[in-house]
Chains A and B, each alone.
Chain A
Amino acid sequence: MSISLFGWLLKNELRLWWRRATDVKHFWAWAIFITIVVTSVMFFIWLGFSALRVVTNQAELPDATVWVAGGLWLLGFIFAFNQAVNESVVVLFERGDLDLLLSSPVSSRAILAVRLLSVALSVFLGFCLFVVPASLLAVFTGFPELLGVYPTLIGICLIAASLGMLVTLQIVRWVGARRARSLVQFLNLILTLVMVLGFQIPNYLISTEADLSSVWERFQIWTAPGSLFSVRSWVWFPAKAMLSEPASVCLMLGVSGAIAAATVYALNNAFIRGAQQSTSQKRRARPEKDLTLQEGLSRIVLTKEWRTMRRHPYLVSQIALQVVLILPLTWILIQGGEDSPLLDIGRVSNVAMPFLGGQLAYALTFVCLSGEEAADLLKSSPSSGFKLRRLKQLAALVPVWLLLLPAIVILIAQGYRWLPALVATLGASIGASFLRLWNSRPVPISDLFRRRKLDKSDLLLTFVESFSPWAWVGLGSSLYTGSGPFVFLSVCSLAALFSIGYWRGRQIGSHLHY
């Protein structure tokens, strides 16, 4: 295949990617928002580099930089892998043009190589938004060796694209293209779980025989000079590549290139054997006992919503994520006592519970109301739309309350002031549910993962929704400390927010079609 055809195919892929990436409502508003975020991040990076220059004041970066680079490499890889899987689902299955290309006279291996490169390139361009200004800052503040981030990034993107495509192919074979994204959500959840639990290690060590110093000692033994995991060891070549060490850079590019070539070979074999056809084959569901029908509108609506929730990977992952987030809190509460060395547990509960309750109520109400798949069926039925919406809200709120109930019980059992947490949590969850109701727009359930599709909500109501959890947190916290003026301030803020929300909701009317 000629270079020009290869370039043309790659250009076509990038053009399609760019169209999808920019297919958002209020594109320029988003562009300005991202610019502000990038600029802010750059400011902090600049402060970090300046501080590092003052602290080190030497020609070479300290050894610990390898650990930091290793951490950044890992974070970058997780992000890149997630992006690569999502891109792979699109370019291999959803877009539906692969059959056309593979049936053309163009070499199938070249087509798949271009697909892999386009996935890698789209991930790379996403990174560049932050990496280009950060690397320029690094050069200007006297760390030109950090330009090694570019070859490292190329390596990360190639490896992530390769693994992403292979994993996607396997996931799609298992569960079909439609569910592949959902399973990726689960993979991300597991990664998040590992990271959250990792950051919480100090909390878990409270009141146990182990402590941080013993962990640190063990870490030092593993990373002592001469050992496999020492800073000088070759195993850290991905991190060292980021610091422009020539051998590591070559190794990084060589390894990633080899993985990409092997992936193209494997993909080619898979598609020649009919990977796409095998993905369309249906799996047989396991037969189950015949259903005995229930009756009563409330019962059947709640049952239907809960069935949908527990069968919907997005919702399950949302709930599981909240569980992951409240695990450390619950652990501290069980371990705790009034005199926790790290924090005031009662206050933390009054902050964390309303916040988590509000967030989860928001997510579940959003899916129950906006993700309704048969709005016309509901509207054409003789059942009251008002009652259906309230039942859907209730269906969203009950799991939130059940999830947070153990934390309240533990607060009561441990003798903390539990009433402020209960009031704020109930208020935050119910409030979030109503604000979501007023701000709801129908969203096809298949688009729930595509965040850019969700920006059809009203701007003012979205603003109110963003501030409301903090007002509830303020109320819970001030009720706990018994601070009268702050209680008054929180109540006034909430009254103002909900008045605005109600007024705006009435003004724009319901868009739910049922």
Chain B
Amino acid sequence: MAAALELQSLSKQFGSHQAVNQLSLSVPPGTLYAFLGANGAGKTTTLRMVSGLLRPDEGDAVIFGNSITKSPRAAKQRLAYVPDEPLLYGKLRPMEYLEFVAGLWNISAARAQPRAQDLLKQLGLWTVRADFTETFSRGMKQKLALAGAFIHEPQLIMLDEPLNGLDAAAARLVKTMLLDYVQQGNAVILTTHVLDVAERMAQQIGILNRGRLIAAGTLDELRARSGEAGGTLESVFLELIDQSNREEESDRT
């Protein structure tokens, strides 16, 4: 079975800054993959390249066997991307927004209608369905963006800091939704700075530092690699970043 996502030597440079450097990894279906890294490590750039928003300088991203550079429409049809800043229309109501997203992904109204209603109810937005999204709080916007990602039933969902702005109840709801989705054989890739979330949810973890993937695997594999047996993800993460920085320093000298 084809990998949900396969990155093949993906690279991107902005001016003299190498944002992503020869990034290769594979995410199997039915996996929740957490992408970790400090600010500016290249997480968002990677997700934007995978979703077709940025053209890679080198390499490719293959989504369920479809290359994002060679057959972008087929690849995008199976993909949803939720950036850290929700992409909404202030003058549309939630159902109108979901109608628009379903239309963009060419989903029939008969299929989209019940799904849109279910999602709004599930995410607690049904009572505000008559309001324009411009009146929503940050958390409500985030939930609606998430509903937009789920409406077309993608096989791979990529989320950039999905729990930003969510209250405890909403965060728990979103985490449950994502785990259920993964159990149905889909894949979820998320970036987060909340390492506890990644520790509890992710089956696979990738750590980026200065555009390079410095470690990837299960939490136990990362513990073994960092020498932090029994350590938390936080201590493992910090140790691996530290090791990587030391190696880079010694390479330079």
Contact = CB atoms under 8 A, between A and B. Distances in A.
Given A287-B130, A291-B93, A381 B87 contact: no
Contact of A380 (B53, B88, B109): B53
Contacts of A312: 91
Contact of B99 (A294, A380, A382): A294
Interface stretch (A13-21, A251-259, A300-308): A300-308
Given A311-B132, A377-B87, A377-B101, A290 B52 contact: no
Contacts of A377: 87, 101, 104, 148
A300 B96 CA distance: 9
Nearest to A514: B53
Contacts of A283: 135
Interface string A170-186: 00000000100000000
A304 B89 contact: yes
B129 interface: yes
A376 B83 contact: yes
A39 interface: no
Interface in B125-184: 129-132, 134-135, 148
A325 B77 CA distance: 46
A297 B104 contact: yes
Contacts of A379: 52-53
B83 A299 contact: no
A300 B103 contact: yes
A59 interface: no
B91 A308 contact: yes
Contacts of A301: 100, 103
B87 A373 contact: yes
Interface string A295-323: 11101110110011001100000000000
Interface string B103-128: 11111110011001100000000000
B96 A304 contact: yes
B214 interface: no
Contact of B105 (A288, A304, A382): A382
B95 interface: yes
A295 B109 contact: yes
A282 B133 CA distance: 12
A57 interface: no
B73 interface: yes
A252 B57 CA distance: 68
A381 B76 contact: yes
A3 interface: no
Contact of A304 (B73, B77, B100, B130): B100
Nearest to B126: A290
B131 A381 contact: no
A293 interface: yes
Contact of B95 (A286, A293, A445): A293
A383 interface: yes
Given A286-B130, A287-B130, A373 B104 contact: no
B134 A382 contact: no
B19 interface: no
B89 A293 contact: no
Interface string A380-421: 111110000000000000000000000000000000000000
A284 interface: yes
A292 interface: yes
B217 to A, nearest CB: 28
By size class, the interface of chain B is 35 or more
B67 to A, nearest CB: 14
Contact of B92 (A292, A304, A378, A380): A304
A374 B89 contact: yes
B91 A307 contact: yes
Contact of B109 (A293, A304, A307, A384): A293
Contact of B103 (A286, A296, A374, A376): A296
B43 to A, nearest CB: 16
B90 interface: yes
A286 B128 CA distance: 10
Contacts of B72: 382
Contacts of B76: 380-382
A292 B113 contact: yes
B102 A293 contact: yes
A299 B106 CA distance: 11
Given A308-B92, A311-B91, A376-B87, A295 B135 contact: no
Contacts of A290: 95, 117, 129
A342 interface: no
A285 B77 CA distance: 34
B14 to A, nearest CB: 16
A376 B53 contact: yes
Contacts of B107: 295
B135 A282 contact: yes
Interface string A501-514: 00000000000010
B237 interface: no
Nearest to B151: A293
Contacts of A291: 93, 95-96, 99
Contacts of B191: none
B237 to A, nearest CB: 28
**Most chain A CB within a 10 A radius of its CB, from B90, B98, B101:** B90
Contacts of A308: 89, 91-92
A373 B90 contact: yes
B38 to A, nearest CB: 23
A384 B77 CA distance: 12
Contacts of B117: 290
A373 B135 contact: no
Given A295-B108, A295-B109, A308-B91, A380 B103 contact: no
B83 A382 contact: no
Contact of A288 (B73, B83, B130): B130
B109 to A, nearest CB: 4
Interface in B204-220: none
A300 B74 CA distance: 21
A384 B76 CA distance: 11
11 contacts: A291-B95, A292-B109, A294-B103, A295-B102, A301-B100, A307-B96, A373-B89, A376-B53, A380-B81, A381-B105, A382-B74
Closest 3 CB pairs of A and B: A300-B103, A374-B87, A381-B104
Given A293-B102, A295-B107, A380-B76, 10 more contacts: A291-B99, A293-B113, A293-B116, A297-B104, A307-B96, A312-B91, A374-B87, A377-B87, A378-B104, A381-B104
